[in-house]
């Protein structure tokens, strides 16, 4: 057994990131400034997106997107129950009503068939979450949005580096929000990016910084003018140059980090091909960003449940997590909308089986071996005995 606890998701930060942050500190630009703009430009080029706006979180990106699209009271927005609460909270923040649609049994992404069933005359938008790094079935979702004249917003918090039919997630005109939280594939500690049509992003930039009609940082640059105007009540959602410094160096090593994630996933998949487990899928039409490795325990195969499995992993000094407690099981949403656990049976069933294993380019080969050994040891210890036919 390991002597040192293996954290579920440690970021990979090297000397290059440290040096870039130090340079940012010495430059005098601590908040949004030239590095933030440079990060926007390089991220736009990486994703092939029409435009990019750096923000302080993916949540901010989703909130700003809804605000710019004028979604509010009386409107409904369809999204998934298998996501972090932020994807749904922002719908509440703008006064609209979240409508949940169950997920596909294999990818655990929102099911286009269920989306179609959830549409009403009040539906204005779909927030499609690329769960665990596997893109949603975008062609079907786009067709539904087009046929019903709905806005499509992509929650790509897990999907930096993912592709759908060879196209990077975020390359389209619709709003797509990315996360650079500490556990994400590319991190700025806290932070996010909103991509999409440049005209929409121009308004999003205003909304994201107090509703000012110009970028605040340009007022203090050489030759900058002090005057500004508040054209609408906005938010304080900007990224800082310190965060952007991290992001610039992370982006430059990103291909290697993704390759390392894929190597670990391949080792996990080979090790866990067993009647006891359901391993994550990757469809032929996509490039999976491999943000999470969500292992599911098949019902009836072990004498312990998911929670006990996690306890056993912890006892072996291996950190795990669960992604996610479905939205309809949280007290606010359960009480407000009258949900029961079986309101979304696929999501609920998957939740009872799932745990997320450590997955990070910071993991050594020995770390990966330790995780595999722990999982297989628990399987061996708690496998149900089968009677001969």
CATH code of the domain covering residue 289: 3.90.1150.10
Residue 48 CB contacts under 8 Å (≥ 6 apart), including other chains: 167, 168, 170, 171
Q: Considering the domain boundaries, does residue 107 fall inside one?
A: yes
pLDDT at residue 336, as a whole number: 98
Q: How far apart are CA 211 and CA 200, in angstroms?
A: 14
Looking at the fold, whether 278 and 291 belong to one and the same domain comes out as yes
**Domain of residue 224, CATH code:** 3.40.640.10
Q: Considering the domain boundaries, does residue 89 fall inside one?
A: yes
pLDDT at 354 over 90: yes
Looking at the fold, whether 154 and 212 belong to one and the same domain comes out as yes
| Residue where a domain stops, chosen among 252, 287, 313 | 252
Looking at the fold, whether 284 and 166 belong to one and the same domain comes out as no
Tokens describing residue 87: 């994807």
pLDDT at residue 213, as a whole number: 81
Looking at the fold, whether 186 and 163 belong to one and the same domain comes out as yes
Q: Considering the domain boundaries, does residue 388 fall inside one?
A: no
Q: Considering the domain boundaries, does residue 182 fall inside one?
A: yes
Return the percentage of the chain with pLDDT > 90, whole number.
Answer: 92
Per residue in 116-175, pLDDT tens? 999 999 999 999 999 999 999 999 999 999 999 999 999 999 999 999 999 999 999 999
Range with the poorest average pLDDT among 156-170, 193-207, 210-224: 210-224
Residue 387: pLDDT band by 50, 70, 90 thresholds? very low
Match 């203090």 to its residue by tokens: 220
Q: Considering the domain boundaries, does residue 8 fall inside one?
A: no
Looking at the fold, whether 163 and 26 belong to one and the same domain comes out as yes
Looking at the fold, whether 165 and 299 belong to one and the same domain comes out as no
CB 164 within 8 A of CB 286: yes
Looking at the fold, whether 190 and 207 belong to one and the same domain comes out as yes
Residue 388: pLDDT band by 50, 70, 90 thresholds? very low
Q: Considering the domain boundaries, does residue 7 fall inside one?
A: no
Looking at the fold, whether 265 and 226 belong to one and the same domain comes out as no
CB 91 within 8 A of CB 77: yes
pLDDT at 389 over 50: no
Per residue in 43-83, pLDDT tens? 999 999 999 999 999 999 999 999 999 999 999 999 999 99
Average pLDDT taken over every residue of the chain: 95
Looking at the fold, whether 189 and 268 belong to one and the same domain comes out as no
Looking at the fold, whether 195 and 281 belong to one and the same domain comes out as no
Q: Considering the domain boundaries, does residue 387 fall inside one?
A: no
Looking at the fold, whether 274 and 334 belong to one and the same domain comes out as yes
pLDDT at residue 226, as a whole number: 74
When divided into structural domains, the chain yields a total of 2
Q: Considering the domain boundaries, does residue 10 fall inside one?
A: no
| Residue where a domain stops, chosen among 252, 283, 307 | 252
* Backbone dihedral angles phi then psi of residue 231, each to the nearest 5 degrees: -95, -15
Q: How far apart are CA 35 and CA 239, in angstroms?
A: 10
Q: Which of 117, 184, 334, 381 is catalytic?
A: 184
Looking at the fold, whether 233 and 328 belong to one and the same domain comes out as no
Match 């993704």 to its residue by tokens: 258
Residue range(s) defining the domain that contains residue 104: 15-252
Residue 227: pLDDT band by 50, 70, 90 thresholds? confident
pLDDT at 35 over 90: yes
Return the percentage of the chain with pLDDT > 70, whole number.
Answer: 96
Catalytic annotation on 184? yes
pLDDT at residue 214, as a whole number: 66
| Residue where a domain stops, chosen among 236, 252, 268 | 252
């Amino acid at each position: 057994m390991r002597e040192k606890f293996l954290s579920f998701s440690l970021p990979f930060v090297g000397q290059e990131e440290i040096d870039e942050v130090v340079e940012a500190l010495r430059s005098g630009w601590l908040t949004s400034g030239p590095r933030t703009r440079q990060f926007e430009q390089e991220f736009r080029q990486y994703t092939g997106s029409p435009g990019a706006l750096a923000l302080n979180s993916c949540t901010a990106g989703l909130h700003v997107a809804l605000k710019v699209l004028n979604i509010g009271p009386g409107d409904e927005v369809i999204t998934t129950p298998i996501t972090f609460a932020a994807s749904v909270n922002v719908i509440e923040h703008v006064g609209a009503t979240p409508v949940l649609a169950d997920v596909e049994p294999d990818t655990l992404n929102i099911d286009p068939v269920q989306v179609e069933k959830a549409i009403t005359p009040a539906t204005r938008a779909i927030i499609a979450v690329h769960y665990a790094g596997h893109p949603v079935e975008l062609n079907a979702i786009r067709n539904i949005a087009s046929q019903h004249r709905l806005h499509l917003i992509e929650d790509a918090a897990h999907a930096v580096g993912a592709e759908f039919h060879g196209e990077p997630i975020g390359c389209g005109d619709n709003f797509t929000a990315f996360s650079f939280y500490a556990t994400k594939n590319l991190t700025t500690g806290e932070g996010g990016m909103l991509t999409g049509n440049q005209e929409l992003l121009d308004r999003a930039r205003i909304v994201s910084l107090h509703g000012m009609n110009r970028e605040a940082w340009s007022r203090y640059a050489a030759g900058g003018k002090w005057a500004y105007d508040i054209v609408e009540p906005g938010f304080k959602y900007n990224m800082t140059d310190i965060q952007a410094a991290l992001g610039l160096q992370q982006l430059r090593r990103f291909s290697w980090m993704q390759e390392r994630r894929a190597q670990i996933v391949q080792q996990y998949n080979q090790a866990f091909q067993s009647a006891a487990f359901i391993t994550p899928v990757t469809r032929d039409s996509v490039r999976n960003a491999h943000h999470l490795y969500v292992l599911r325990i098949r019902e009836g195969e072990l004498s312990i449940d998911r929670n006990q499995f996690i306890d056993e992993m912890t006892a072996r000094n291996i950190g795990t997590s669960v992604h996610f407690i479905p939205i309809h099981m949280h007290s606010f949403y359960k009480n407000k909308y009258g949900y029961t656990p079986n309101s979304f049976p696929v999501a609920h069933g998957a939740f009872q089986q799932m745990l997320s294993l450590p997955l990070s380019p910071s993991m050594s080969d020995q770390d990966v071996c330790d995780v595999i050994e722990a999982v297989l040891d628990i399987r061996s210890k708690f496998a149900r005995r089968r009677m001969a036919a």
